[in-house]
Amino acid sequence: MLRHSVIWRLRDTTTPELRVEMLKGLAYLRMECLMVRSGDYGEDIFGGSQDPRGERLPGWRRGADGPSSNYDIALHLDFDDWAGHDAYSADPAHAAGSRFNASVAWDELTARVDWDYTGDGPAQRGRVRHVAMFVWADGAANGEKQRALDAVQRLADVPSVEAVAVGPNIGRLVSDYDWIMDVQLPDRIATERLLVGASYARTMEAVAAATKYEWTARLSHVMRGP
């Protein structure tokens, strides 16, 4: 299964009403584009780029201190193959959605990964998906990369984690991120415990050693699929 995953940072001027319109548009893509086999979307459950838990530095000032905040909205669409993906890209509904999304989100900060999804099938509606996308650091050794990937896979051993998937980008855009991690959990409480826990901290330590961690794109959202 070819999965197309995209996450957006909304503009500061995007109103709650426009956010709802964007979410409606993502749901419409799943229903209108017949080449889509299954889909999932959602908004960050912890406040996204408007996270109230602390003051956030702008991206150009944060250096290597890590991501300034979560992203805001995610979309995941599954296709049988690249033919389906390409047909979706050419569909008028996709073009209209892309134009609207660019008007309410920072297009230059949008994170995308196309990847081979070998997980447990469609989204489990009502559960939580935590997604993060990464860019490999210049000159990162293969051993460092593998340690990062292995550390993410070990999150499957955390009792509250229901599934973990990792995928390298196979997309064709130079703006694509290099790889994605996809972690599924039962609810918001389990997700928050994971993100503040020691296991996740150790995982991100290994990931940060091999990536441009300041460009990490991540969010946690309630799954709307399949």
Percent of the chain having pLDDT more than 90?
78
**Taking 90 as the threshold, does the pLDDT of residue 125 lie above it?**
no
Q: What is the pLDDT of residue 51?
A: 53
pLDDT for res 67: 47
Burial class (CB in 10 A: 0-12, 13-18, 19+), 130: buried
Where residue 121 falls (left for φ over 0; alpha for ψ -120 to 50; beta otherwise) is left
What pLDDT, on a 0 to 100 scale, did the predictor assign at position 54? 41
**Per-residue CA distances from 139 to 64, 145, 181 (Å):** 16, 10, 21
Identify the band that residue 69 occupies on the pLDDT scale cut at 50, 70 and 90: low
Tokens 């509250």 identify what position? 160
Strand partners, 2: 79, 116
Number of domains in the chain: 1
Instruction: Give pLDDT, residue 120.
Output: 66
From the list 98, 86, 125, the residue with the least C-alpha distance to 2 is 86
Q: Please state the rounded mean pLDDT for residues 113-137.
A: 87
Average pLDDT on 213-220 reads 91
pLDDT band at 216; cut points 50, 70, 90: very high
How confident is the prediction for the chain on average, in pLDDT?
89
Residue 129: CATH number of its domain: 3.30.70.100
* Residue 48 lies in domain: 2-222
**pLDDT recorded at residue 59:** 46
What is the band of 108 on the pLDDT scale with cuts at 50, 70, 90? Answer: confident
pLDDT tens across 175-190, in order? 899 999 999 999 999 9
